Amino acid sequence: MTPMIDVRHVHKAFGGLRVINDCSLSVAKGSITGLIGPNGAGKSTLFNIIAGALPLDSGQVLLDGEEITNRPANALFHKGLLRTFQIAHEFSQMTALENLMMVPPAQAGEGLFNAWLKPGLVRAQEEGVRRKALEVIDFIGLYHVRNELAGNLSGGQKKLLELGRTMMTDARVVLLDEIAAGVNRTLLGDLVENIERLNRDLGYTFLVIEHDMDMIARLCDPVIVLAQGSVMVEGTIQEIQSNPEVIEAYFGAPHDATP
């Protein structure tokens, strides 16, 4: 089966510092794949390359068999590749519902011609977008704050809203960047449940950067470990946690070393 994401021999350097070093990995369609590694391993840089936010120096990135190397983020959005951020990027002075309604591309009301000469078309499309946004905000458990300014939401609610935004378009694969950061345990449970539902019911593929190993253990199979800009090992969370190379990479000493 063609992988949803296929990274082939990617290199990226900043000045004389090589951050991604001959990195190759694949993310299977319909999987929730974890990407972990010690600080400075290159996880965020690799995410930014896949998402079109950074150009690579050499190598290839493919989406469902199609080469997308160095395509800009807006082009990848239209191909169904979306990402969330460690720090949520909401429109703070718009309501939670309006944040969702902003997402669908090519809305008729965005053009002056349609706004003036086809108001019926604009109203009909906007009502359809609103209905979908209400369905999504109910799905993610934020219906009770749908009319609240997004800037007033808690950190966890903002992360849920970001996840909801991926549902307002034809997402195929979503890159989740430390979605658990700053989220209380109750809302984190809601986030995990929503990710599982999107994967199970709608077929979303996820690639997840996360430091919360409990979340990785619940969600992700397989788990890929990145170290010094390349893949060290891939396997189940149990295999990863018992791998002596992984333990050494995280803690800087063999797992059986004495203090």
3-state secondary structure of 173: strand
Say how many residues make up the chain.
Answer: 259
Q: 41 burial class (0-12, 13-18, 19+ CB within 10 angstroms)?
A: buried
Q: Which band of pLDDT confidence, cut at 50, 70 and 90, is reported for residue 256?
A: very low
Per-residue confidence (pLDDT) for residue 105, from 0 to 100: 64
Average pLDDT, the chain: 88
Q: Is the pLDDT of residue 30 over 60?
A: yes
The pLDDT tens digits for 108-151 are: 555 555 555 566 666 677 888 899 999 999 988 999 999 999 99
Q: How far apart are CA 233 and CA 127, in angstroms?
A: 48
Q: Which band of pLDDT confidence, cut at 50, 70 and 90, is reported for residue 257?
A: very low
Q: Which residues contact 85 (CB under 8 A, 6 or more apart)?
A: 162, 177
C-alpha torsion sign, points 103, 105, 109, 112: positive
> Which range, of 5-19, 31-45, 100-114, 129-143, averages the lowest pLDDT?
100-114
3-state secondary structure of 243: coil
Q: Which band of pLDDT confidence, cut at 50, 70 and 90, is reported for residue 258?
A: very low
Q: What are the E-state strand segments in the chain?
A: 5-14, 17-27, 32-36, 58-63, 66-67, 81-83, 173-177, 205-209, 223-227, 230-235
The pLDDT tens digits for 197-248 are: 999 998 999 999 988 889 999 999 999 999 999 999 999 999 998 999 888 8
Q: Which band of pLDDT confidence, cut at 50, 70 and 90, is reported for residue 26?
A: very high
Domains of the chain: 5-90+170-251 (3.40.50.300), 93-152 (no CATH)
Q: How far apart are CA 152 and CA 35, in angstroms?
A: 31
> Which range, of 11-15, 69-73, 182-186, 218-222, averages the lowest pLDDT?
182-186
Q: Which band of pLDDT confidence, cut at 50, 70 and 90, is reported for residue 255?
A: very low
Query: Which of 53, 49, 74 minimizes the C-alpha distance to 62?
Result: 49
Q: Is the pLDDT of residue 42 over 90?
A: yes
Per-residue confidence (pLDDT) for residue 184, from 0 to 100: 84
Q: Which band of pLDDT confidence, cut at 50, 70 and 90, is reported for residue 2?
A: confident
**Higher pLDDT residue, 22 or 187?**
22
